[in-house]
Amino acid sequence: MDFDIVISGGGIAGLAAAAAFGSDGKRVLCVDPAPPVTDRDADGADPRSTAFLQPAQALLAEAGLWDRLAKHAMPLQVMRIVDAGGDLPEPRVTKSFDAADISDLPFGWNLPNWLLRREFSAYLSKLPTVDYRPGTATKTLFTRQAEARVGLCDGSRVRTSLVIAADGRGSPMRQAAGIGVTTKRYGQKALAFAVTHPIPHENVSTEIHRTGGPFTLVPLPDYDGRPSSAIVWMEEGPKAQALMDLEVPAFEAAMSERSCHLFGPLTLASKRTIWPIIAQHADRMSGERVALMAEAAHVLPPIGAQGLNMSLADLRVLRDLVRDRPDQIGDADMLEAYHRARFADIRTRIAGIDLLNRTSMQSNPLLRDARAAGLNALYGVKPLRKTLMQLGLGTTRS
């Protein structure tokens, strides 16, 4: 066998998987058709950020990655939800969820995606059992009971015990394995970019609901001497595209208004990106000698920092199964156990995020009023509030 594990996909989830298995001494090949863009201002750099919730941070620490990331990470101590669904774009209900109510640690830590790719790639170069090949794509998949054979774009073929498909929502390896998907479309798009602002964020992540979807500001380290945040702005598709096409001064005025001026005037501090919003899940988490993870297995609207944290929950289950069954990597029993461990949780979380997204999209004044009343009611019941915060983290502590 050439490798224990072949990972198709070198996004953040795929690189994290290579690090986790490589730090355990497994022989890993990780490939991705596109070399990682690791400079903030380079063409193709990802201006989005990722909030690693507590369980995800613990996994990265166990894999040896967190020491590289900690000095760049911005703690997320408070999650603030603002309803601005009245006649004017201004707060009418504001509720703050403090991590201190359930933990001695912050809810999570936020890092820019371009920096994550830089640090993950550098870490993989130091792991002797990991072969990381950016610029190489998987092309073919042949499986049988004892092994998988993966064809690469350079014409070579490798043999492996397990293929991990972490190659995105259109996953070539998922398709090659014959696993279908169920997809919901919302008619929304999301804009992602970074800003600076005069009022400090004080480690508070703020999600503002009006119409079209949430407008979320997540703390980043200062940029050019000013407080900075990453923004994801969800809106109906045509409106999002119109915003994307605005000249910078008009765009800054629009985003400052949509932020309810909570941080003062916002100044664009990165390029803008835009992508369509869907919810999607695979019909199964595994096939013969293949495990799906991350967006190959599930895609969510960007609400509540669930997307990549669910991906790392996939990784934790896979890693623990490989540790427990070192002589059964990729066999049918192991992959069935993986499917059972993850499938129900994924379906439940997708349903919850779907409901939150549809609620955030409301433009009808009566439904917006109901949303505000619901936020008040949820916040007012302390045991329910604590339980929901724990569920959001993926924990069940009392």
- Asked whether the domain spanning 71-110+186-276+362-393 has the same topology as the one spanning 3-37+116-183+280-357, the reply is no
Supply the DSSP symbol for 15.
H
CB atoms within 10 A of CB 270: 23
Rounded Cα distance, 324 and 250, in Å: 56
Rounded Cα distance, 135 and 44, in Å: 14
pLDDT at 337: 97
Name which residue leads in pLDDT, 178 or 363.
178
Rounded Cα distance, 119 and 125, in Å: 10
The mean pLDDT value of the chain amounts to 89
Per-domain residue ranges of the chain:
3-37+116-183+280-357, 71-110+186-276+362-393
Q: The domain 71-110+186-276+362-393 is classified under which CATH number: 3.30.413.10, 3.40.710.10, 3.30.9.10, 3.40.50.300? A: 3.30.9.10
> Hey, is 114 helix, strand or coil?
helix
Q: What is the mean pLDDT of residues 271-289?
A: 95
Q: Which CATH class is domain 3-37+116-183+280-357?
A: alpha beta
Among residues 204, 205, 200, the alpha carbon closest in space to that of 216 is found at 205
Question: Percentage helix, strand, coil, to 5, in the chain?
Answer: 35, 30, 35
Name which residue leads in pLDDT, 138 or 396.
138
The continuous run of DSSP H or E covering 260 comes out as none
Burial class for 236, CB neighbours closer than 10 Å (0-12, 13-18, 19+): middle
As a whole-number percent, the residues of the chain with pLDDT over 70 amount to 90
pLDDT at 32: 96
Enter the tokens of residue 3.
């490798």
* Helix 12-23 with 54-62: angle, nearest 10 deg: 50
* Helix 12-23 with 113-124: angle, nearest 10 deg: 30
Q: Are 86 and 105 in contact (CB under 8 A)?
A: no
Name which residue leads in pLDDT, 21 or 379.
21
Q: What is the mean pLDDT of residues 278-284?
A: 95
Supply the DSSP symbol for 145.
S
How many residues would you count in the chain? 398
Does the pLDDT at position 396 exceed 50? no
Q: What is the pLDDT of residues 342-393, one digit of tens each?
A: 999 999 888 888 877 777 766 667 566 666 666 555 555 555 455 555 555 5
Which residues have C-beta within 8 Å of that of residue 327, sequence separation ≥ 6? none
Q: What is the mean pLDDT of residues 40-53?
A: 85
> Hey, is 93 helix, strand or coil?
strand
Does the pLDDT at position 81 exceed 70? yes
pLDDT at 393: 56
Beta bridge partners of 162: 5
Q: What is the pLDDT of residues 209-245, one digit of tens each?
A: 888 888 999 999 999 999 999 999 999 999 999 999 9
pLDDT at 397: 41
pLDDT at 367: 63
Residue 87 CA: distances (Å) to CA of 84, 212, 370:
9, 15, 15
Rounded Cα distance, 324 and 314, in Å: 16
> Hey, is 139 helix, strand or coil?
strand
Burial 93-112 (b: 16+ CB within 10 A, else e): bbeebebeebeebbbbbbbb
Q: How confident is the model at residue 398 (pLDDT cuts 50, 70, 90)?
A: very low
Among residues 371, 370, 389, the alpha carbon closest in space to that of 381 is found at 389
pLDDT at 119: 95
Does the pLDDT at position 298 exceed 60? yes
Residue 304 CA: distances (Å) to CA of 282, 298, 315:
21, 15, 19
Name which residue leads in pLDDT, 194 or 94.
194
Rounded Cα distance, 26 and 141, in Å: 21
Cα pseudo-dihedral 367, 372, 375, 379, rounded to 10: -150
Residue 99 CA: distances (Å) to CA of 34, 61, 109, 204:
37, 20, 12, 11
As a whole-number percent, the residues of the chain with pLDDT over 90 amount to 69
Q: What is the mean pLDDT of residues 54-82?
A: 92
Supply the DSSP symbol for 384.
H
